[in-house]
Amino acid sequence: MPEDDWLARALPVEDLTGLEPPEPMLRILLACAGLTAEVVYCARLPHAPRPLYPQLEARGLEWRVGLCPDGTALLWIRGRAR
């Protein structure tokens, strides 16, 4: 998907798989405070973080989720381009 080429930009992946809920969500929401269209945040989670999506939408962020064969999920978030 050409419009998803920003996914390739996220470099460090924060590993949140060993945390109890809602700790991963807390970390992600705190990280979201500094995001712009240029700054991408990426995290690995134990599963797709469905309850988080409404929070990301309310903050006007753009996000993608990739499901890995081992059951974990990768989450990319960035601010929306104005």
Residues interacting with another protein, by CB under 8 A? 18-22, 25-26, 29-30, 32-33, 46-48, 50-51, 53-55, 57-58, 63-69, 71, 73-74
| CB contact at 8 A, 29 and 54 | no
**Distance of alpha carbon 34 from alpha carbon 63, whole angstroms:** 15
Which residue number, 39 or 68, has a Cβ lying nearer to another protein? Answer: 68
Distance of closest approach, residue 13 Cβ to another protein, in angstroms: 10
Distance of closest approach, residue 22 Cβ to another protein, in angstroms: 6
Distance of closest approach, residue 5 Cβ to another protein, in angstroms: 14
**Distance of alpha carbon 69 from alpha carbon 66, whole angstroms:** 10
Q: Backbone dihedral region of 60: left (phi > 0), alpha (psi from -120 to 50 degrees) or beta?
A: left
- Tokens 């006007």 belong to 60
Which residue number, 30 or 81, has a Cβ lying nearer to another protein? Answer: 30
